Amino acid sequence: MERRLARKFLYFIAAIILLILAAGVVYQLFPGWIARTAFVPSTEFKPQAVAAPNAYDDPAMWFARPGLENDPSAWRPPAEESGAAESQLPDSLVPAAQAAEQPAPRGDAAIFFVHPTSYYSRSSWNAPLDDRDANHRATLFMQGMASAFGDAGAVWAPRYRQATLGAFLAEDRVTAGKAIDAAYRDIEQAFEAFLAAQPANKPIILAGHSQGALHLTTLLKNRIAGTPVAKRIVAAYIVGWPISVETDIAALGLPACQTPEQKGCILGWASFAEPADPKMVTEAYDGTIGFDGRPRADTRMLCTNPLTGVPDTEAPAEANLGTLRPSRDFKQGDLIPGKVGAKCDDTRGFLMLGDADVVKDYVVAGYVLPGNNYHVYDITLFWANVRADVLRRLATFEGKAAPAF
């Protein structure tokens, strides 16, 4: 009996470890047999057929776009005045009637948002577009992340055959690269459809997290840099994916944002709390080659402090306009101001959140990654500041007075 109980307990602990890993180990090449066994596909890579030329003309190919019912980016946390009451979101996400009650966008931009990895299966290297679990997780990510940009205009967020989580853990980097490249092809095709739907002078905001941010760096480098589209970019929010200041920024065609009002620039950060151990990130990052052909080893990552809108700065918790604190099922949330501060570290460029014992009260236990990596919460910890940042930069782009917050 005791052996049976002990075995069940060990199985339970192993399951918990895997759940923690699955919560968001997206861009790290997490070492270890357990992670690879749990997430790296055992099947051969199957080349993904190129989507039909007009595939993204179909509204069903989008999680968010104008006119969609149940658009997760239309969700907003309750107003601060409402007290402790939380905003309830049903399983169907935001019904059309509820979405209609949301405030109309304050800005006239078009936002192209790419969601992070939500497919964790070993059954294939790329997610089927109709995978129910992956799509459910993606809508929850959209609710918490894309919603921060929605007051600047209409959000467009494509469905895409994302690379599975295991592609970022696999030792076979050739096969993993094929899966990531296949996912990017969908993103580029979706972007072309997005562009075709916009007036020629409409301002554009790019935003993405983790795998989504990776694809945006490729989109900037391969499709936007040096083209007329680059002049329409209000800002590019490349969050949760490392960008080397020395080897990458120049190839992206836009500079790093240096002031809170600057337009046509890039922001990026990756969040850790103290005591932090970013070794898993730095080891993976240091083994890669930058866009200019030089190794990224020991180079500094872009760190924009979302509380200030300026790189390599520090701000106290009082500067935080609102952390989006989720419920355990991530279907609810409330906005808590003045609790989480941040500063960019002096060495590699990580965004440090302060003591983990403070930050843990504003996240869901079990979804913080090893090393006190708050990757899952890169945007939600600063939800209201991100919203303010994008509205401020859009005002600059349109030649208007910056809104007050």
Write the pLDDT tens digit of every residue in 109-152: 999 999 999 999 999 999 999 999 999 999 999 999 999 999 99
Mean pLDDT over the full length of the chain: 86
Three-state SS letters, 237-277: EEECCCCECCCCHHHHCCCECCCCCCCCEEECCCEEEECCC
The mean per-residue pLDDT over the stretch 52-61 comes to 96
Instruction: Please report the pLDDT score of residue 111 as a whole number.
Output: 98
Instruction: Please report the pLDDT score of residue 44 as a whole number.
Output: 87
- 218: exposed, middle or buried (C-beta count within 10 Å: 0-12, 13-18, 19+)? middle
* pTM across the whole model: 0.86
Instruction: Please report the pLDDT score of residue 11 as a whole number.
Output: 40
* Chain mean position to CA 109: 19
Whether residue 11 lies inside any domain: the answer is yes
N residues, the chain = 405
Quote the tokens at residue 349: 């460029």
Whether residue 30 lies inside any domain: the answer is yes
The mean per-residue pLDDT over the stretch 262-276 comes to 97
Q: Which residues contact 88 (CB under 8 A, 6 or more apart)?
A: 331, 332
Model confidence at 9: pLDDT above 90: no
Q: Which residues contact 144 (CB under 8 A, 6 or more apart)?
A: 324, 326, 330, 333, 379, 380, 383
- Say how many domains are in the chain: 1
Model confidence at 377: pLDDT above 70: yes
Digit-coded pLDDT (tens) for 314-360: 999 999 999 999 888 777 789 999 999 999 999 999 999 999 999 99
Instruction: Please report the pLDDT score of residue 35 as a whole number.
Output: 53
- Do 48 and 182 meet the contact criterion of CB atoms below 8 Å apart? yes
Instruction: Please report the pLDDT score of residue 116 as a whole number.
Output: 97
Quote the tokens at residue 99: 């979405």
Q: How far is CA 78 from CA 49, 83, 245, 367, 369, in A?
A: 43, 9, 37, 23, 28
Identify the residue with better confidence: 283 or 222: 222
Identify the residue with better confidence: 248 or 365: 248
| Percent of the chain's residues with pLDDT above 90 | 72
- Do 19 and 366 meet the contact criterion of CB atoms below 8 Å apart? yes
Quote the tokens at residue 80: 């601060």
205 phi and psi angles, rounded to 5 deg: -120, 130
Whether residue 367 lies inside any domain: the answer is yes
Instruction: Please report the pLDDT score of residue 12 as a whole number.
Output: 37
Confidence of residue 243 (pLDDT cuts 50, 70, 90): very high
Rg of the chain on CA atoms, in Å: 20
Model confidence at 39: pLDDT above 70: yes
Q: CA nearest 130: which of 122, 119, 116? A: 119
Specify the amino acid at residue 291: F
Q: CA nearest 211: which of 281, 77, 114? A: 114
Whether residue 340 lies inside any domain: the answer is yes
Whether residue 404 lies inside any domain: the answer is no
Strand partners, 315: 342
Whether residue 402 lies inside any domain: the answer is no
Quote the domain boundaries for residue 291. Answer: 2-397
Model confidence at 308: pLDDT above 80: yes
Q: How far is CA 141 from CA 19, 115, 117, 231, 265, in A?
A: 17, 7, 9, 29, 24
What single DSSP character describes residue 45?
Answer: P
Confidence of residue 5 (pLDDT cuts 50, 70, 90): very low
Whether residue 128 lies inside any domain: the answer is yes
Identify the residue with better confidence: 362 or 330: 362
First-to-last C-alpha distance (Å) of the chain: 62
Identify the residue with better confidence: 322 or 79: 322
- Euclidean distance between CA atoms 353 and 367, whole angstroms: 16
Digit-coded pLDDT (tens) for 21-33: 443 444 333 444 4
Instruction: Please report the pLDDT score of residue 21 as a whole number.
Output: 40
Whether residue 222 lies inside any domain: the answer is yes
DSSP secondary structure, 205-229, as one string: EEEEETHHHHHHHHHIIIIITTSGG
